[in-house]
Each structure stands twice: as structure tokens, then as C-alpha cells.
Amino acid sequence: MEISCLLDARAGLGESPVWSAQEQALYWVDIIAPALHRFDPATGACHDWAMPSAIGCVALADDGGMLVALRDGIHHFRPATGALRRLAHPEGDVPGNRYNDGKVSPDGYFFVGTMDEATLSAPRAGLYRLGPDGGVVKIRGELIVSNGLAWSADGRFMFHSDSKAQKLYRYDYAGGVPSNPQIIARPGETDGRPDGGATDQGGLYWSAGISAGVLNAYTKTGRLMRRIALPCAAPTMPCFGGADMRTLFLTSARHHVAPERLAALPLSGGLFALRLDAPGVAIPAFPMARVPHTGVIK
């Protein structure tokens, strides 16, 4: 399989690729050198917006702006002006945590998780849901590193992982509420700990195996159907895009990669792409119309 490096970005911690069908462009973030990036695959053009603190994830909003999760909460960001407006900060009272993986659900909620950045071992992180009314609901707690959010093509299932606990979950999903969590896989270090994820129209969940330099494809029951070795040491998150939604974009990291691994895989931290048979599940934009300036934890 041909895997191309679209951009030798040398990102410390590249994450959260999001495809804009309207712009035919890819947005992604570097958490460590905090910035939002835009890449145009047709021209190779890049644009960058520096952020005031670590940016865990980004999502499109339907008003032309974006949602960005910074250290001090979830913000609305306008690329045209650089303006940031905080919407909510559900973990303002948890020192040592930061926001991590986030994604808009098929029915327009923004789900975002946190992680124990201080020790990478304490189950003190959570998963939250920001609604179109600005309200924030805590979905679950006792996570170490919340990650891997994605939904099945029919919207009936939500996938989610705890990277450091090495657990991949599937939930039933309806009306903005995930329920009945089931552990469907426990990928270890050599399998590829589950980082970010994306789903295709054929029923597979594609998981970045950050610890093994691989991309793993699972069925909804957790059966491993495919494993693809990658030209980077630490893949972080896949995202489907392109005109036919059959291009899988992939971010990666250089941070904490051993020098000998970087010598063998010098493109680590780059932005990659490969072509797959089944098109991906499109991620909607977050509806901003009714969102007030602050959120309330219920």
C-alpha cells in the first residue's frame, strides 16, 4: 500500500485532523507547539494560527468558525480574525489534566475528553458533551487518557478509547447519549495502543496504534481485520477526506520518540495519506446558533 507523506511537519504532537468538505482542506493541530494548521492537498499550501496554550483538538462549526479545546476550556475560534471566545470549561477544577481528543457527533453534539497529563497513570480524566444550547454534561469519569471518538455510519454506535488503560470501547448511541459501554479490544504496546480513531462506510473502525507505528482496523465487535505498518513511529489520529472521502489522512508525533526510532523513521511528526476502498463517515459541523458565552455543568 502506498502511504505518502504530504507534509514533513516535524510536529511535536500532531493531532485532531478534521476534513472540511466545503474548503477541500485539512485542519489539524500541534499540541506541544500550540497551533492550528490548515493544509490544502491540491496545492500544498499551509496556514497556521498560533494558540495561547496547548490545543487538544479542533472541530468545524457551521458559522465558518471552529471549536478548539485549550487549557482553559472549549473556545469558539474565528480563523478570519483570530478571535477566541470561551464557551465552557468543565474541568477547571482538576489540576494536572488537559483537554484531549474531541469530535462532533452525527446529531451535532461536541464530545471532548480530558487526560491525566501530569502522570499519565491516574484515572481522573473524563468525557464531556457540549450541546448546541451551550450546556455541558459529564458522560463518564475515571479515565486516564480519553481518546478515539468516532461514530458508526448509521449513528447507532459510538467508539471511544482510554489509551493508557489500553481499552477500546463501543457504546450504544441515541439522542446524544452513549450507553451500555462494552470493552471490545485491549490493544497492548506491541499491538498499538489506541489513540485517535475514524470510521468508514464499510463498518470498520480505524485506530492509530501510537505505540507500534501502525494503523489498526477493527469491526464493531473488536475483531482486528487489518494492520498497516506506517512510515512514522507514533501515529496519533486518522481522518477521512478527499473529494470521494476515500483518502485517509493521518497525523503523527515526534515528542518522546526515542532517537533511534527517529533515525529509522525520520518523517515522524509528519502528515500522511493513504487510499482505502471504503469511503469514510463524514463528521458534521457543530451548530453555533444557540450557544451562549458560558456553559453549565449539569
Q: Which residues are catalytic?
A: 195
DSSP 15: E
Decide: 3 and 21 in contact? Cβ < 8 Å: no
User: Residue 269, SS3?
Assistant: coil
Decide: 168 and 158 in contact? Cβ < 8 Å: no
Decide: 54 and 44 in contact? Cβ < 8 Å: no
**Taking the C-alpha atoms of 40, 46, 49 and 50 in order, what is their torsion angle to the nearest 10 degrees?**
140
Nearest to 99 by CA among 139, 159, 65, 54: 54
Decide: 156 and 105 in contact? Cβ < 8 Å: no
- What is the CA angle 11-102-42, rounded to 5? 50
**Full DSSP string of 134-195:** S-EEEEEEEESBEEEEEE-TTSSEEEEEETTTTEEEEEEEETTEEEEEEEEE---TTT--EE
